[in-house]
């Protein structure tokens, strides 16, 4: 097992090194093949690890693989170790599996690229860091990967750094994440103060026996600190602003990092710490509220965007809000479930968007698309599958996971009607804007300047694979209601699988309630879809009338509620003023003055002392001997 784990982690690193060396010998096929082969090897090893974890008996599925002690200072002992358990093995599978498909897609997508080796090197480095994040046995090891994926995200968003806007987008992502990371670190400090360890296994054990109301405040503070980090990485209010801008990067990157894997890292950490989170009702409430608000607001913004990738980005933010909401209401299994299904269909849709953008010569405005159903049949079919999955039509993947979350929000002990309502409304809006996207892109006549054509097999094969997963991913967690209703007993695989490493609480409510809720969510999805279909299909004039009734509101929405401008005015401007005054008044006058003053005074002292250095080395020796004699005198006197 040890060897497999080392292989899983090191293969992408090797790929990174090889491609890093090939950096200036650019050959798309060669570097792409190397990178894909490394990730493929990693994927195969992940499967082996997953199977061997499965083969272990229940309750003994955690393996700690210790390499060496990374930090050992007094009581703080951080081993460099990997924790293989159901959670990390399934995440490993997700990262390497989706990563592999996107690597292959990239070979086709990056065909006009000037430095593909660099691109693939970064992709491999990302996979490596993500695996460290997922496999780390302690919060600190995870934090290495956490920072590493942040770095890769920055590098890949700003991959086309010749365009200063894209470079700025990378910088924005990086800086926003720094705020989150600061919170994360503070959270770490609190948790360490409270428990004296950062190892997941120890934390879980300690959490089960946690029984001191007086330190609940400390725990809540620590968890909220970590949640700030999660907000940064998983794009929650108020730190979600970087994710839409991150679409400046190559589309496969958006699919891999900003939809499927990296942004779910926050959820991963929350599931890891689920036994702790569940102890603090305050933290739960905050998390759930933030998640629900994010889901709703992002969905609202998504309805008024015209850039295909921006729509998908807001959709991602919204779906991440769902996942956080799930965590907040204690449905950690549902959260991971949605992570998985979302990874499949959102990666699928991003890659589909990539295929479209590639075919239309980097045109991203959906107003200038249309009619692609005929010209790009495979893309259209797979995209449609993704669409059905995301709006939550059974039996596609999205339905099951979304339904589980909504059910928990309604019936769970931490749930609330308002939370459910926000999630439910967001589901409707999701159906609305996704259908709008479908209508404008595929079903209306072409408005494009370019003649589109189907993409190469390198790009369509990953699409097909992901489409299959998007269809059948829901089988991982079929709710009991349905399986009972069908008369067969299919266990909720995911919940059972995670039971020994996370807080899994299956809610048993009234069956009738559950079925009604399911029908309600399917209903609003269908309603949203039909509304969009009509408003953007045949009844465009109706839409314009609606918009003209409340132009201010729609402007507000399409300008994303002016959040960026708000941040600019409220935070950046005062910060800039403060920095300037610090620079001009404090630094230049006070600190520089002190430094220069000490400099000149030492210079003067040196000029005075230089007289002693008269060039006769024997005089220097004289000083030495005088000193020696002084020391010896002390010796003779006292010893």
Separation in Å, CA 143 to CA 169, 203, 229, 230: 23, 16, 10, 12
Ramachandran area for residue 331 (φ above 0: left; ψ -120 to 50: alpha; else beta): beta
Residue 602 beta carbon to another protein: minimum distance, rounded to whole angstroms: 14
Residue 601 beta carbon to another protein: minimum distance, rounded to whole angstroms: 18
Tokens of 179: 């705020």
Question: Is residue 417 involved in binding another protein (CB under 8 A)?
Answer: no
Tokens of 227: 């949640």
Residue 636 beta carbon to another protein: minimum distance, rounded to whole angstroms: 5
Quick check: bond before 395 cis, omega within 30? yes
Closest CA to 506 of 516, 492, 517: 492
Footprint on residues 321-380 left by another protein (CB under 8 A): none
Separation in Å, CA 282 to CA 2, 266, 414, 436, 499: 40, 19, 10, 38, 24
546, 548, 549, 554 alpha-carbon torsion, rounded to 10°:
80
Residue 85 beta carbon to another protein: minimum distance, rounded to whole angstroms: 45
Q: Are 45 and 11 in contact (CB under 8 A)?
A: yes
Residue 68 beta carbon to another protein: minimum distance, rounded to whole angstroms: 25
Looking at beta carbons only, is 546 or 621 nearer to another protein?
A: 621
Looking at beta carbons only, is 417 or 616 nearer to another protein?
A: 616
Separation in Å, CA 49 to CA 6, 45, 82, 243, 626: 11, 6, 13, 32, 72
Looking at beta carbons only, is 55 or 611 nearer to another protein?
A: 611
Residue 583 beta carbon to another protein: minimum distance, rounded to whole angstroms: 38
| Long-range interactions of 565-574: CB distance < 8 A, separation 24+ | 567/241
Footprint on residues 563-592 left by another protein (CB under 8 A): none
Looking at beta carbons only, is 515 or 622 nearer to another protein?
A: 622
Tokens of 199: 């190892």
Residue 610 beta carbon to another protein: minimum distance, rounded to whole angstroms: 3
Looking at beta carbons only, is 516 or 624 nearer to another protein?
A: 624
Residue 630 beta carbon to another protein: minimum distance, rounded to whole angstroms: 10
Footprint on residues 276-315 left by another protein (CB under 8 A): none
Footprint on residues 23-52 left by another protein (CB under 8 A): none
Looking at beta carbons only, is 579 or 613 nearer to another protein?
A: 613
Tokens of 466: 């992901």
* Spatial CB neighbours of 156, under 8 Å, sequence gap ≥ 6: 119, 122, 123, 126, 170, 249, 250, 253, 257
Q: Give the binding-site size for another protein (rule: CB under 8 A).
A: 21
Looking at beta carbons only, is 583 or 620 nearer to another protein?
A: 620
Looking at beta carbons only, is 601 or 633 nearer to another protein?
A: 633
Site string for another protein, 594-633 (x = CB under 8 A): ---------------xxxxxxxxxx--xx--xx-xx--xx
Residue 611 beta carbon to another protein: minimum distance, rounded to whole angstroms: 7
Please state at what angle helix 139-157 crosses helix 216-233, rounded to 10 degrees. 20
Looking at beta carbons only, is 566 or 628 nearer to another protein?
A: 628
Site string for another protein, 158-197 (x = CB under 8 A): ----------------------------------------
Beta-carbon count within 10 A of 580 CB: 10
Residue with tokens 């059905």: 388
Rounded-to-integer distance, Cα 228 and Cα 19, Å:
35
Beta-strand relationship, 63-73 and 76-84 = antiparallel
Residue 600 beta carbon to another protein: minimum distance, rounded to whole angstroms: 18
The alpha carbon dihedral of 475, 476, 478, 484 has a sign of positive
Looking at beta carbons only, is 217 or 627 nearer to another protein?
A: 627
Residues that bind another protein (CB under 8 A): 609-618, 621-622, 625-626, 628-629, 632-633, 635-636, 639
């Amino acid at each position: 097992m040890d060897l497999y784990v080392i292989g899983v982690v090191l293969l992408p690193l090797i790929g990174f090194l090889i491609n890093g060396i090939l950096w200036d010998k650019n050959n798309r096929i060669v570097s792409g093949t190397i990178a894909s082969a490394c990730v493929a090897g990693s994927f195969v090893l992940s499967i082996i690890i997953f199977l061997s974890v499965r083969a272990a008996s229940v309750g003994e599925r955690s393996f700690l693989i210790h390499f060496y002690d990374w930090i050992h200072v007094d009581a703080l002992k951080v081993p460099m170790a990997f924790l293989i358990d159901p959670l990390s093995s399934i995440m490993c599978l997700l990262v390497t599996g989706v990563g592999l498909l996107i690597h292959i897609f990239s070979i086709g997508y990056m065909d006009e690229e000037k430095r593909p080796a660099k691109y693939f090197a970064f992709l491999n480095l990302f996979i490596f860091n993500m695996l460290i994040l997922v496999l780390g046995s302690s919060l600190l090891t995870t934090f290495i990967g956490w920072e590493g994926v942040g770095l890769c995200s920055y590098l890949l968003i700003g991959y086309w750094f010749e365009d200063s806007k894209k470079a700025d987008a990378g910088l924005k992502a990086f800086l926003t994440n720094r705020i989150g990371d600061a919170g994360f670190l503070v959270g770490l400090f609190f948790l360490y103060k409270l428990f004296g360890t950062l190892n997941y296994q120890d934390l879980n054990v300690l959490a089960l026996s946690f029984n001191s109301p007086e330190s609940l405040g400390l725990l809540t503070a620590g968890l909220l600190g970590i949640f700030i980090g999660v907000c940064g990485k998983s794009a929650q209010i108020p730190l979600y602003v970087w994710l839409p801008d991150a679409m400046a990067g190559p589309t496969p990157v958006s699919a891999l990092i900003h939809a499927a894997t990296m942004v779910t890292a926050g959820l991963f950490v929350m599931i890891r710490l689920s036994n702790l989170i569940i102890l603090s009702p305050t933290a739960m409430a905050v998390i759930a509220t933030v998640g629900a608000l994010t889901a709703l607001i992002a969905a609202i913004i998504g309805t008024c965007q015209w850039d295909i990738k921006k729509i998908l980005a807001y959709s991602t933010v919204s779906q991440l809000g769902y996942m956080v909401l799930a965590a907040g209401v204690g449905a950690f299994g549902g959260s991971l479930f949605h992570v998985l299904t979302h990874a499949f269909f959102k990666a699928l849709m991003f890659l589909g968007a990539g295929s479209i953008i590639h075919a239309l010569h980097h045109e991203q405005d959906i107003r200038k698309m249309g009619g692609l159903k005929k010209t790009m049949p495979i893309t259209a079919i797979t995209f449609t599958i993704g669409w059905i999955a995301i709006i939550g039509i059974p039996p596609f993947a999205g339905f099951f996971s979304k339904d589980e979350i909504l059910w928990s929000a309604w019936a769970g002990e931490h749930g609330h009607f308002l939370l459910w309502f926000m999630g439910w409304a967001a589901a409707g809006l999701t159906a609305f804007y996704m259908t709008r996207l479908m209508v404008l892109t595929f079903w209306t006549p072409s408005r494009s300047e370019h003649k589109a054509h189907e993409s190469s097999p390198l790009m369509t094969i990953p699409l097909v694979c992901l489409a299959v997963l998007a269809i059948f991913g829901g089988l991982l967690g079929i709710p009991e209601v349905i399986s009972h209703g069908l008369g067969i007993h299919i266990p909720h695989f995911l919940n059972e699988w995670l039971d020994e490493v996370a807080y899994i609480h299956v809610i048993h409510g009234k069956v009738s309630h559950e079925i009604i809720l399911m029908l309600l969510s399917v209903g609003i999805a269908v309603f949203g879809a039909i509304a969009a279909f009509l408003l953007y299909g045949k009844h465009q004039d109706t839409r314009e009338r609606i918009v003209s009734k409340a132009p201010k509101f729609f402007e507000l929405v399409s300008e994303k509620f002016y959040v960026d401008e708000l941040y600019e005015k409220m935070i950046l401007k005062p910060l800039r003023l403060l920095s300037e005054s610090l620079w001009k008044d404090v630094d230049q006058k006070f600190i520089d003055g002190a430094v220069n003053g000490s400099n000149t005074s030492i210079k003067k002292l040196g000029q005075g002392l230089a007289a002693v250095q008269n060039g006769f080395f024997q005089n220097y020796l004289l000083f030495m001997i005088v000193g020696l004699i002084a020391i010896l005198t002390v010796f003779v006197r006292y010893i």
